[in-house]
Structure 1
């Protein structure tokens, strides 16, 4: 069983990350007050399990945007079927297609994030089997550019055999399996055709090392 102090520390970090995100994206002052209250509660919880001073210690470890700037981490999951068709989902924001994926959340590993995104966006239960690529979004032809520098982690995943989730609505417009020679219009902000071919090559050759920029 996980020690209680580790549970408290992890949950406090998650709460503070939620507060930081809310303060960054919400324009409503009432919401700002609520997020500041969440941040204060998170600091109080962290003080129970750390001897270091707050908030300086927290700012070094959980509020990177307030200190040294570092790239954001985007994970994408590639699932291929027996005919080498890739699982894609249709984004609500631009009605174009992409691999399931998104930003990593505080408190989860990159592999966990990739599997969660497949379940939430495509309704398919998977497990991550390999890290296929770590790419710099800035150098890979994604459009439009983003204000934040982004590293993209691509995982190969396979279906677990567990029942796919049907009870909750998906976060996307549609889901489908596509041959790389007959792709729909891609959401190039998130995925490129070149990256899909790179992933299929990795799927075909299990000994192929991960590609990185």
Structure 2
């Protein structure tokens, strides 16, 4: 997904300088298996999510992001937690520096998911222990650890 108009308007004024943004993260799980996505820009596995647009409810942003990235519908079961700080800071290949404060939501998948080829290389289901063996964004370890143990 290309940069939102909102972020693009800020970037036009500040260039690649650090920008703090609100985000949402979908912890889509079935029992102790979690859906992860391997992202095109990094090749790393992570949870699905993205930015909250101005005036958008975070839960609506979550539904939108999952639909955009996977074509799937989800049901939100609750909030896992809120995460930020150094582990959530990223420098993208174009040099843009971003820090996210993300609200992670416990979710149930309601329809089939297919990766959006512009953003994702693949989707996969992984048990907690298997996630530790993946090349991944390490901040997800804390989110997975905080997630409920079963449906």
Shorter chain as denominator, the TM-score bin is: 0.7 to 0.9
Q: 1:92 to 1:147 in 2, by over 3 A?
A: closer
Match of 2:149 in 1: 204
1:204 is paired with a residue of what secondary structure? Answer: coil
Specify the structure having the higher radius of gyration (Cα).
1
2:22 to 73, 80, 89: 73
TM-score by length of 1: 0.54
- Structure 2, unmatched stretches of 5+, are none
| CA deviation vs aligned residue, 1:134-168 (integer Å, no higher than 9, x gap) | 12333xx44657955532211011123xx4366x7
| CA deviation vs aligned residue, 1:12-34 (integer Å, no higher than 9, x gap) | xxxxx83x53333359xxxxxxx
Larger helix proportion of the pair: 1
Larger strand proportion of the pair: 2
- The CA RMSD over aligned residues, in Å, is 3.1
Q: Which has the higher contact order (CA 8 A, sep 6+)?
A: 2
Task: Count residues with an aligned counterpart.
Answer: 137
Q: 1:195 to 1:24 in 2, by over 3 A?
A: same
Q: 1:95 to 1:177 in 2, by over 3 A?
A: same
Match of 1:57 in 2: none
Match of 1:182 in 2: 130
- Structure 1, unmatched stretches of 5+, are 1-16, 28-64, 207-213
Deviation at 1:102, TM superposition (A): 1.1
Match of 1:156 in 2: 106
d(CA) in 2 for partners of 1:198, 1:178: 16
Q: Write the mapping of 1:1-12 to structure 2, written as runs, cut at 5 A.
A: none
2:63 is paired with a residue of what secondary structure? Answer: helix
